[in-house]
């Protein structure tokens, strides 16, 4: 099981557009899409770049995995940076080029992000593979064919996710982590038994102190809604007063698995669990693209459904 980070975006279409976003996507898919695969494995790809584009990293490709009036599920591929990957023989230890010079003319190694977009709310959920295509590429599904600015996307502010956890009567905190350069010396003296000379030098060097509080297995450090809210309020005050350089909590609710909330982050993020492999006859096998498609669709749908109440309140 792999943990993947998901970000949420509020997608907007330019005012006075005659077509809905669904129809724009539908028409673009029908006009510019190329079919691949067979039966259930069939998908449509669309190049989101100019045919004369020379910068490999801008050659982003959309794979339409499922599209209907309710949602759009797809995959965005962006070429990996040259010189960052290789193919190794684990028995001999030798490393080879993944593709030959001739193969690179027609093929490429791409970093992939999966997305799930809901038309009724205009909310985009997209994974965050480092170096992969971002939400701008989702905008480009329309903009590259109809002109810049027709579609825009805006990240959901972190406060919406944190406030939902804060207001939930069943919120429990598993761990708290914070960092500060403003720690009372008596605290360090008590915990580390440091002498005054050492403490003075540490303070002169402007050292930061990090503290990590974590509950034992199957327990929580805070499991009462009032004390949970008091703890979050205190951390928020510390951030506001610039006393804290880091402030994170991990917690869960009655209907939601454990999530991390970064009080210093600008944008709301969420983690999903995705199975990347399976076991057959005691051997580990990586999932193929069709199996990954099923895994990501299920995980992204769940992420959206768990957070759709936040999105509906945000729109009011």
Question: What value, to the nearest 5°, has the Cα angle with vertex 240 and ends 269 and 165?
Answer: 40
What stretches of 29-128 adopt beta strand conformation (E)?
Answer: 34-36, 43-47, 61-67, 71-79, 87-88, 95-96, 110-118, 123-127
Q: Containing H/E element for 309?
A: helix 289-315
Q: Containing H/E element for 123?
A: strand 123-127
Please tell me the predicted confidence (pLDDT) of residue 42.
Answer: 87
Please tell me the predicted confidence (pLDDT) of residue 206.
Answer: 64
Q: What is the pLDDT along the chain (316 residues), one digit of tens a residue?
A: 789 999 999 999 998 898 999 999 999 999 999 998 776 678 999 999 887 777 777 889 999 999 999 999 999 999 887 777 888 878 888 888 877 777 777 788 889 999 999 999 999 999 999 889 999 999 999 999 999 999 999 999 999 999 999 999 999 999 999 998 776 777 777 777 878 888 777 777 667 788 899 999 889 999 999 999 999 999 999 999 988 999 999 999 988 889 999 999 999 999 999 999 888 888 888 998 899 999 999 999 999 998 988 888 776 6
Here the tokens at position 64 are: 């339409």
Q: Containing H/E element for 286?
A: strand 283-286
Please tell me the predicted confidence (pLDDT) of residue 43.
Answer: 92
Give me the residue label for tokens 């805070």: 222
SS3 for 57? Answer: helix
What does DSSP say about strands 2-13 and 269-274: parallel, antiparallel, or unpaired?
antiparallel
Task: Give the C-alpha separation, 36 to 26, whole Å.
Answer: 17
Please tell me the predicted confidence (pLDDT) of residue 1.
Answer: 77
Please tell me the predicted confidence (pLDDT) of residue 25.
Answer: 97
What are the two backbone dihedrals, phi and then psi, of residue 126, each rounded to the nearest 5 degrees?
A: -140, 140
Give me the residue label for tokens 């990586």: 286
Here the tokens at position 172 are: 């429990």
Q: Which residues contact 41 (CB under 8 A, 6 or more apart)?
A: 289, 290
């Amino acid at each position: 099981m792999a943990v993947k980070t998901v970000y949420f975006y509020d997608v907007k279409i330019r005012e006075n557009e005659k077509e809905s976003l669904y129809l724009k996507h539908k028409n673009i898919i029908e006009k510019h899409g190329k079919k691949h695969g067979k039966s259930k494995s069939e998908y449509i790809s669309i190049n989101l770049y100019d045919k004369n584009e020379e910068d490999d990293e801008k050659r982003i490709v959309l794979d339409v995995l499922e599209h209907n009036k309710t949602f759009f599920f797809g995959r965005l591929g962006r070429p990996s940076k040259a010189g960052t990957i290789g193919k190794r023989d684990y028995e001999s230890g030798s490393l080879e080029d993944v593709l030959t010079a001739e193969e690179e003319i027609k093929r490429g190694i791409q970093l992939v992000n999966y997305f799930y977009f809901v038309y009724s709310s205009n909310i985009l959920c997209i994974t965050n593979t480092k170096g992969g295509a971002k939400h701008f590429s989702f905008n480009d599904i329309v903009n590259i064919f109809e002109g810049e600015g027709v579609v825009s996307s805006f990240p959901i502010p972190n406060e919406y996710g944190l406030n939902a956890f804060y207001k939930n009567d069943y919120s429990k905190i598993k761990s708290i982590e914070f960092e500060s350069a403003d720690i009372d010396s008596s605290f360090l003296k008590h915990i580390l038994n440091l002498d005054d000379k050492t403490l003075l030098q540490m303070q002169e060097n402007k050292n930061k102190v990090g503290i990590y509080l974590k509950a034992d297995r199957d327990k929580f450090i805070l499991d009462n809604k009032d004390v949970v809210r008091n703890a979050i309020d205190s951390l928020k005050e510390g951030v506001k007063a610039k006393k804290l350089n880091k402030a994170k909590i991990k917690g869960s609710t009655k209907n939601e698995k454990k999530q991390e909330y970064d009080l210093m982050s600008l944008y709301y993020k969420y983690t999903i669990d995705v199975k990347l492999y399976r076991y057959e006859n005691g051997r580990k096998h990586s999932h193929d693209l069709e199996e990954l498609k099923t895994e990501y669709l299920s995980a992204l749908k769940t992420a959206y459904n768990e957070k759709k109440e936040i999105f509906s309140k945000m729109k009011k």
